[in-house]
Structure 1
Amino acid sequence: MKMKKVTLIIILSVLVGLSGMMAQERYAIIDSTDFEELSLGEAVRIGLENNYNLKIEDNFREIASNNVTLGNAGFLPTVDGNASMRWSNEDVEQQFVSGDSQTRDGARSNTVDASIDAEWIVFDGLGMFKRYEQLQQQEMTATYSWKNSVESTLYQIAESYYNLRYSAEQLRVLKETMEISRARIRIASDKYDVGKTSKTELLTAQTDYNADSSAYINQLNQLQQATINLNLLLGQDSERQYYASDSINAISLYSYENLKEEVLKNNSLLKQAESNKIGTTYNVEIVRSERFPRVTAFGSYGYSRLESQAGFLLSNQSTGFNYGLRATIPIFNGLNINRREQNAKIEKDNAELSYEQVRLEVIAEFERTYSSYQRALGLIELEMDNTSIAKENIEIAFDRYKLGRSTFLELREAQKNAEDAKLRLLDAAFAAKILEIQLKRLSGNILEERERIN
């Protein structure tokens, strides 16, 4: 039993030592040129080029743009070419007015018709004008939908990009903690060798170093996950390794009133809901236009030839134009126009209600985001002070420990305080950066940011 216990201790010691070596080796790889430096502007460019959802949304926008034509609205005439040939074989018995009669079995007749026919609706209660305006509004709605998709994608890319930088900064803090723990082991070992401290202190220093190594390795996994997530958004191979070169510390300051005004003016979701609301008003007017007379001009040029073995004519051929005007006046169609107009009004009311709901949701999201953004900025100032104090405290505690004027517990506490302060500062800076990007998205300025970083 004792032998098993000794063997287990040896195995654990080897594993811990390997973990520390793996952590150091991995960080050496991070500092090497194997990691490709990537700016936010480049990440955005790659992501927008490769994102399939944006390509689909752009196709929808192109479809809406293609639909905005005079022909689709009903302004232009329709021209058709028609041709037909008919053959018949009939038994004929005819009695003429003159008293003559004719009987023939298997009389054949052939008819050939060809024409070019045109129709042009010259008046339909102004419905064609409303349809054209509606098509233009639908194009505008599709554009706002596309813009919203682009903004959402930009936000996701920026969030993932800064998360990669955030994870790397956390790794740097944990590496600094490991270096202090490694130095502490050397000092404790030297003291133990000359009999100035107990083995307990040396073992505690090694245990703390192993705990720091474990935290470091866990953070390496977080960094790798952040890299995979970014590659997914960029449409890249998951094995590509990037170093995010843009800092999370560059944070803009915004005025509440100016930003709220821009949100109400430029928010793509709000503009899309507003455009959809306007579009539904045309449905009502288009249905109402059906109550008016419809005037259609028509004309055709035709050719016709008949050949028959029985009857008054053995052959007949004609060519020429015919044209005219046709007026259609709706008198009664089962009250369907009334029903469709009522439904169009309900759809219009629903669109107005939907707009008001979206407006409330956008304002509420802005209020929440701006409030969190202000708190994050306050936390940055506080944690900067804490980090400065903790840095000075760890330097003093380390010097005192080397001189034997403080215990390893005091040094460890100062060490953890410094680590926690740095990590909290990173948390606040990352939160503020993401909230800043969210504010840009809500205010419709994230596309302008894209132009700036490119």
Structure 2
Amino acid sequence: MNIKLVFLSIVMASQITLFAQELITPEKAIALALEHNYGIKLANTDVEVAKNNASVLNSGYLPTLNGNAGATYNVNNSFNEFSDGRTPVDLNGAESSRYNASVDLNYVLFDGLGRSYNYKQFKENQQLTELEARETIENTVIQLFTIYYNVAELIENNNALTKTLNISKDRLIRSEYQFDYGQSTKLEVLNAEVDINNDSINIMNSKQQLNNYKRDLNLVLGNTIAGDFNVYTEVAFNSLYNKSELLEKAKINNINLLQIEKSIAINNLGVKFQKSAYLPTLGLTGSYGWNKNNNNAASFVAVSTNTGFSGGLNLSWNLFDGGSTLTQVKNAKINLEANNIQKEQLQVTIERDFNNAWDDYQNKLNIYRLQIENIKTSKNNFDRTQEKFKLGQVNSIEFRQAQLNLLNAELSKNQAKYLAKLAELQLLQLSGDILNMAF
């Protein structure tokens, strides 16, 4: 009776959970992750910072305008003798003050094209940051569906385990009837009860795993799902991929390759920026100012006030800086050469990884197809064994083995299905096409 109650509570809990669950489709999961995933949010803030850095306000092309003002107050004791023979003046506590205000303009007319190359570097850095954000999104998609398909697999596994438990329950009822009518021993009943216990434990462990993975999935989705939820367990495979076309896409659109190409462009501009230090700098200055002086009694002028404009050009040319510029140019060229070497290495690595991913995908897809056929064989074997068991032609041990063979075949099929789908996603990520696929 206790076993029946355990089974009934498991079934009732499953029904209540399924009734309350929200269905999260792959499309909805992608939408939620793009909007709420914490890693993607952080990547987007980096993009915003890069956009600000690439703005004309940070380019050095605009002039600077400064406002200045000041005031000075003096109290001095002074003895003053005059060259024209006038009577000397002895002052104690003589007061004087000065006031000034100005607006100053500075503008670089030419700096050896340094700011031009620097501004272009900021633009390239913005694009590199956007590529890094795209890489974050691609990795998040892989992480998302790795967990998503773990949830889907466990849901299907729970269904298979529940069917196994139902079969074990029917077997227990049959064994109890047979024992009551003297057609079997108590051992058959005890064996059936042990198998029910094992099946119940498997379901509880599987449900615990499922709850853990659901929490992991919700975290990737930015913790946006308040209650329990379900996921879509059907997957579609596109077996019409052209290997050569995907490889060409990988050579052009792979995110890591695009990033190293952008780094090469940035370092190429870096070489030109360092060379700009060889050229002179020409600047324009302008100022409008007001100055007022209140002099002490010893001065010829009691109060003087000046206002007006001033302007000028200044030329600066660093003819020799001890070799610092030359060193920086050499290092910039070395960094550019290192980037080109990294690109060559990456191209070879991508081709190798793509071939491995292609073979892995084809292998896992074939395994999944074989597992589907294996299900049919295991199901046929179990049905035959079950009929013979009802007729008393096979014992409970043989029946249990056929039951477990069917269960293992279903679990292996479920695993193979989602492993094949993840292999497909990893292949598409290498080709730079994962964000364009239909889930």
Fold-level similarity (TM above 0.5): yes
Q: Distance in 2 between matches of 1:157 and 1:351?
A: 32
Per-residue deviation, 1:354: 4.2
Q: Distance in 2 between matches of 1:329 and 1:42?
A: 61
Q: Distance in 1 between matches of 2:230 and 2:76?
A: 89
Counterpart pick for 1:410 among 385, 398, 404: 398
Q: Does 1:145 align with 2:132?
A: yes
Match of 1:88 in 2: 74
Counterpart pick for 1:323 among 311, 334, 338: 311
Per-residue deviation, 1:427: 1.1
Match of 2:337 in 1: 349
Q: Does 1:430 align with 2:418?
A: yes
Q: Distance in 1 between matches of 2:320 and 2:82?
A: 46
Alignment CA distance shift 1:257-1:100 (3 Å): farther
Match of 1:211 in 2: 198
Per-residue deviation, 1:101: 6.7
Alignment CA distance shift 1:101-1:434 (3 Å): farther
**Correspondence list, 1:250-329, <5 A:** 250-253=236-239, 254-309=241-296, 310-329=298-317
Match of 2:386 in 1: 398
Tell me whether 156-165 or 123-132 shows the greater mean CA deviation: 156-165
Match of 1:9 in 2: none
Counterpart pick for 2:54 among 40, 56, 68: 68
Q: Does 1:440 align with 2:428?
A: yes
Q: Percent identity?
A: 29
Q: Does 1:183 align with 2:179?
A: no
Counterpart pick for 1:40 among 13, 26, 50: 26
Counterpart pick for 1:243 among 207, 210, 230: 230
Match of 2:186 in 1: 199
Match of 1:24 in 2: 11
Letter in 1 for 2:262: S
Alignment CA distance shift 1:19-1:370 (3 Å): farther
Q: Distance in 1 between matches of 2:172 and 2:40?
A: 54
Q: Distance in 2 between matches of 1:275 and 1:27?
A: 53
Per-residue deviation, 1:362: 4.2
Question: Is contact 1:201–1:408 with CA below 8 Å preserved after alignment?
Answer: yes
Letter in 2 for 1:194: Y
TM-score normalised by structure 2 residue count: 0.91
Q: Distance in 2 between matches of 1:439 and 1:282?
A: 34
Per-residue deviation, 1:82: 1.4
Counterpart pick for 2:111 among 102, 124, 149: 124
Ranges in structure 1 where 5+ consecutive residues have no aligned partner: 1-12
How many residue pairs align between the two structures?
436
Per-residue deviation, 1:305: 1.9
Counterpart pick for 2:369 among 375, 381, 403: 381
Match of 1:167 in 2: 154
Deviation string 1:295-317 (CA, Å, 9 cap, x unpaired) is: 11111122222221223322222
Question: Is contact 2:112–2:280 with CA below 8 Å preserved after alignment?
Answer: yes
Alignment CA distance shift 1:30-1:251 (3 Å): farther
Q: Distance in 2 between matches of 1:435 and 1:101?
A: 105
Deviation string 1:26-54 (CA, Å, 9 cap, x unpaired) is: 333344x1222221222222233322222
Per-residue deviation, 1:204: 2.3
C-alpha RMSD over aligned residues: 2.4
Per-residue deviation, 1:356: 4.3
Per-residue deviation, 1:73: 2.0
Ranges in structure 2 where 5+ consecutive residues have no aligned partner: none
Per-residue deviation, 1:419: 1.3
Q: Distance in 2 between matches of 1:334 and 1:92?
A: 51
SS of residue in 2 equivalent to 1:290: helix
Per-residue deviation, 1:282: 1.9
SS of residue in 2 equivalent to 1:80: strand
Q: Distance in 2 between matches of 1:444 and 1:407?
A: 56
Deviation string 1:58-99 (CA, Å, 9 cap, x unpaired) is: 111101101113342221111111122222233444555545
Q: Distance in 2 between matches of 1:26 and 1:375?
A: 38
